[in-house]
């Protein structure tokens, strides 16, 4: 899903969600999102929560890039490509992107990329900290992560990425 600014210019957003905790790791809006920019975003995520063991991606050029392939190889991250035309194979991120579209992109007017980044980040924080998920026993992603940390049942993150 591509969204326009008030002046008509379009931007894209990289969304990264941990399939285990449903935690939105990052939403990266930009006018262009190359493999190099995807790698930079994933490095910022990895500094906070470590490298995932696997990332599920579609077949977009930013995900089939040499930059992402080299990054994944260097950090022991498996890239799991969905079959073309089968978005259901990336269901967690597709569900997230639908919510993101309905609740954030459709509900806001963005006057600049900076404005979009601020509003999108505020929505992401609200999603992680204030929205219970039935798949998490009606806990928010933040509460679920805290509970898992206390019980020691944590598993390595598995991310799903999408360009919306």
Question: Could you give the angle at the alpha carbon of 74 between the alpha carbons of 69 and 76, nearest 5°?
Answer: 90
**Which residues, in sequence order, are CB contacts of 160 under 8 Å at separation 6+?**
16, 17, 19, 55, 56, 57, 90, 92, 93, 96
Angle between helices 113-130 and 141-151 (to 10 degrees): 50
- The per-residue DSSP string of 91-138 comes to HHHHHHHHHHIIIIITT---SSHHHHHHHHHHHHHHHHHH--BGGGTS
pLDDT at position 37 is: 97
The closest of 3, 1, 52, 43 to 23, measured between CA atoms, is 52
pLDDT at position 149 is: 84
pLDDT at position 68 is: 96
pLDDT at position 85 is: 85
Q: How far apart are CA 22 and CA 147, in angstroms?
A: 14
Strand partners, 163: 14
pLDDT at position 74 is: 98
Q: Per residue of the chain (164 residues), what is the pLDDT tens digit?
A: 799 999 999 999 999 999 999 999 999 999 999 999 999 999 999 999 899 999 999 888 899 999 999 999 999 999 999 998 888 888 899 999 999 999 999 999 999 999 999 999 999 999 999 999 998 889 999 999 888 888 876 555 656 566 54
């Amino acid at each position: 899903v591509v969204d326009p600014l008030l002046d008509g210019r379009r931007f894209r957003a990289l969304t990264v969600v941990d399939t285990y905790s449903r935690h939105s790791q990052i939403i990266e809006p930009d006018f262009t999102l190359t493999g190099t920019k995807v790698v930079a975003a994933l490095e910022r995520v990895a500094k906070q929560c470590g490298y995932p063991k696997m990332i599920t991606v579609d077949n977009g050029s930013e995900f089939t890039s040499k930059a992402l392939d080299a990054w994944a190889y260097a950090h022991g991250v498996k890239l799991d490509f969905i079959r073309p035309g089968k978005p259901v194979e990336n269901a967690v991120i597709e569900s997230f992107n639908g919510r993101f579209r309905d609740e954030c992109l459709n509900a806001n007017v963005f006057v600049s990329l900076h404005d979009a980044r601020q509003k999108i980040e505020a929505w992401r924080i609200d999603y992680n900290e204030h929205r219970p998920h039935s798949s998490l026993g009606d806990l928010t992603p933040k509460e679920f992560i805290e509970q898992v940390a206390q019980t020691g049942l944590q598993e390595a993150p598995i991310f799903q990425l999408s360009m919306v």
